Chain A
Amino acid sequence: MMTESKRLIEEQQTEYVARLANLSFSAEELAAYTKDLESILNYMQELNTIHTDGVEATTHVLPLTNVFREDCIGDCLPNHDALSNAPDSEDGSFKVPKIM
């Protein structure tokens, strides 16, 4: 039987979200973040009190369309500039630990 729960987010979900965001938390942190998210999400429930059926979604506040560049080649960064901030590199490439 389902138990009635008022919680908007459980620690398990916090963990799932952290995984999507490539973050990880200790047990205490997980509890703390879950509590914070719960209280913020609870505040966001205010949005449910407003009817928005049929209201168009605004993705851009300015009515701009068709902003393009022409297909003309411009300057690239020299390789050493491209890699100038790289934490690790080898032979002109960035270097990362093994994938798996």
Chain B
Amino acid sequence: MTKYLTTIGLEFHAELKTKTKIFCSCPTESGGAPNTHVCPVCLGLPGVLPVLNKAVVELAAKAGMALNCEVARFSKFDRKNYFYPDLPKNYQVTQYPLPICRNGYIEIKDAQGQAKKVRINRIHMEEDAGKLVHSGSSLSDSSYSLPDYNRAAVPLIEIVSEPDMCSAEEARAFGEMLRLILLYCDVSDVKMEQGSLRCDVNISLRPEGTDELGVKVEIKNLNSFRAVYNAIKYEEERQADMLDCGEPIVQETRLWDEQSGETRSMRSKEDAHDYRYFPEPDLVPVVLDDEWMEHIAASLPELPAARLCRLTEQLGVGEKEAQQIVQNPPLAHFFDALYDEVKDAKMVSNWLLGDVSRLLNDSGMEFSALPLDAVDTGHLLSLLKQGAINQASAKQVLEEMFTTGNKADDIIAARGFAQISDSSALEGIVAQILADNPQPVADYLAGKKAAFGFLMGQAMKQTKGQANPAVVKELLTKALEA
């Protein structure tokens, strides 16, 4: 049987996190009643004109910088012409020959665990279309549709990769990393289920040993990276089967059906893809000078790759733990805040990935909803580190902080958790225990080291567990060996 090589390119549409639409002052907020976030401009009424939202340019350029792109000093808008009732003007304002960003890349790991650069061809700014609500259960048995233009002209960036990926794993890794970078940049909500990040797959197969790329199939309707992964796996198999049987692959758009786990041909009588792009005469070019570029660059946060590197190499967090932290931006930000208080990366990562994560899990919460204050939590960990409280108490205090929102110090005081580390306070207790327990002392001195544990236990019992075990141990050892 012939072995086939897969070639994959991805196209993403990310809704930018602006307050208003790209060309008018209507809110971008979703969830309003149909056709209530609209105005003459986004409804495309005769005579209206677009005026570009400055924040769109800044977010698009920021995303481009984060994705290692060249940001264009000069870019302009074009019209893409096609008829569809979700498109108020029957053309989409987008960017064609001169997009705002070009030639970027994202680094992922390939199957061998080696770093691999997947190139980004371009990022351009454009307007979203409205939504069509269809009557009936599916498009084909619907008798009418209801266009809602609330989403029309919400700003998007389209991010187009080069066909540099060769497996479903790589595609998923690329998508996840892209999502994470956009999330750190705070340019988009990147929620695939809600459509603020959309992904289309272009995939072709060719027999091993050949160079010419096979016929490209586009897959749409992918609402998660799991769907992206599954659709690619399915399509690899489908196309390989067809090629094995000598059937030609048709260049077409297919829709992923989540329920059946299949891709299906759209089979719609679509117009020929003759979009008649031409320069948008109603908008003037966008010019980014050095000053503006620097201003945008200064707004870039630490990106996932750099963050991972800092955690592992500078702070000594384990690779696996660091990965877990970086994957989750609210967790990563909490980590930083906590680290600033405690200055012990290992301790902070252990607590965050251990107790804090468990508390969140148990209550079904996301890290973004964490009810803990970083400064106060840091204070608790510092007390633990100084020996002012013991590990078991610290866990109880944390849990109480989590559930009640009370301050660490208040909980410690109320529950009498403060630990005795003052050796002068403990010396008397140690002397008393030695005096009260001659037999274990004799046993210890005779070489039965286990007797030491008994004496330690007595000291802890005497102090109701508040003695600092390390100090007690030191004092006992000193006294016994004197």
Contacts and interface: CB of A to CB of B under 8 A. Distances in A.
B33 A68 contact: no
Interface stretch (B267-275, B331-339, B369-377): B267-275
B36 interface: yes
Contacts of B33: 79, 92
Contacts of B192: none
A90 B146 contact: yes
B326 interface: no
Contact of A73 (B20, B135, B149, B283): B20
B416 interface: no
A66 B286 contact: yes
A15 to B, nearest CB: 12
Interface centre among B19, B51, B144, B269 (most CB of A within 10 A): B144
Contacts of B36: 76, 78-79, 82, 92
A78 to B, nearest CB: 8
A72 to B, nearest CB: 6
Given A91-B34, A91-B146, A68 B139 contact: no
A69 B287 CA distance: 15
Given A65-B285, A67-B284, A93-B34, A76 B39 contact: yes
Interface in B243-290: 268-269, 271-272, 274, 276, 279, 281, 283-287
A62 to B, nearest CB: 8
Contacts of A60: 281, 284-285
Contacts of B146: 90-91, 93-96
B144 A82 contact: no
Interface string A12-32: 000010011010000000000
Given A59-B279, A74-B25, A82 B139 contact: no
A100 interface: yes
A93 B151 CA distance: 13
Contacts of B133: 93
A68 B51 CA distance: 6
Given A77-B43, A79-B33, A20 B19 contact: no
B185 to A, nearest CB: 16
B112 interface: no
Given A82-B43, A94-B35, A100-B139, A69 B25 contact: yes
A65 B39 contact: no
A68 B20 contact: no
A55 interface: no
Given A19-B271, A98-B144, A98-B145, A72 B35 contact: no
Contacts of B19: 71-73
Interface of A: 16, 19-20, 22, 59-60, 62, 64-79, 82-83, 90-100
11 contacts: A20-B272, A59-B76, A59-B281, A67-B51, A70-B55, A71-B53, A79-B35, A91-B34, A93-B148, A96-B145, A98-B143
